[in-house]
Amino acid sequence: MTKVFNISVYLAFTKTVFLSKMVYKFDYLMGILNTCIQLFIACLIWKTLYGAQEIFNGISFSMVVTTIMISQGLANAYTINDQMVSKKVHDGTIAYTLLLPINFRGQMFAETLGEILFRLISNFLPTIILFSFVIDILPPDSFVSFLFFIVSAVLGFLVLWMISSIVQFFAFWMISVWSLSTIKNVFITVLSGAVLPLWFMPDSILKWIEYTPFSSIYFVPSRIYLGDIAPADVGEFFIKQSLWIIALYLISHVMWLKGKKRIVIQGG
- In this predicted structure, the answer to whether residue 267 has a pLDDT above a threshold of 50 is no
In a domain? residue 41: yes
In a domain? residue 195: yes
CB 218 within 8 A of CB 74: yes
Amino acid code (one letter) for 125: L
Report d(CA 202, CA 200) in Å as an integer.
6
More confident residue, 168 or 131: 168
CB 106 within 8 A of CB 9: no
Report d(CA 219, CA 237) in Å as an integer.
11
- In this predicted structure, the answer to whether residue 256 has a pLDDT above a threshold of 60 is yes
Q: How confident is the model over 190-199, as a mean pLDDT?
A: 88
CB 66 within 8 A of CB 138: yes
In a domain? residue 1: no
- C-alpha torsion sign, points 242, 236, 223, 146: negative
At 217, the pLDDT band (50, 70, 90 cuts) reads: very high
At 113, the pLDDT band (50, 70, 90 cuts) reads: very high
Report d(CA 81, CA 115) in Å as an integer.
10
Q: What is the dihedral of CA 202, 230, 64, 76, to 10 degrees?
A: -100
Q: Whole-number mean pLDDT of the chain?
A: 87
- In this predicted structure, the answer to whether residue 78 has a pLDDT above a threshold of 70 is yes
In a domain? residue 209: yes
CB 59 within 8 A of CB 153: no
- In this predicted structure, the answer to whether residue 34 has a pLDDT above a threshold of 60 is yes
In a domain? residue 230: yes
- In this predicted structure, the answer to whether residue 253 has a pLDDT above a threshold of 90 is yes
- In this predicted structure, the answer to whether residue 218 has a pLDDT above a threshold of 90 is yes
Give residue 145's pLDDT. Answer: 94
Counted domains in the chain: 1
Element (H, E) at 110: helix 104-119
Q: How confident is the model over 152-165, as a mean pLDDT?
A: 96
At 235, the pLDDT band (50, 70, 90 cuts) reads: very high
* Nearest Cα residue to 185 out of 267, 262, 82: 82
Residue 51 backbone phi and psi in degrees, to 5: 65, -130
Give residue 149's pLDDT. Answer: 96
The alpha-carbon radius of gyration of the chain (Å, integer) is: 20
- In this predicted structure, the answer to whether residue 265 has a pLDDT above a threshold of 70 is no
In a domain? residue 267: no
In a domain? residue 47: yes
CB 194 within 8 A of CB 75: yes
Question: Is residue 227 classed exposed, middle or buried when 0-12, 13-18 and 19+ CB atoms within 10 A define those classes?
Answer: middle
- In this predicted structure, the answer to whether residue 216 has a pLDDT above a threshold of 70 is yes
Full residue range of the structural domain in which residue 249 is found: 7-261
In a domain? residue 238: yes
Report d(CA 148, CA 180) in Å as an integer.
33
Q: How confident is the model over 21-26, as a mean pLDDT?
A: 76
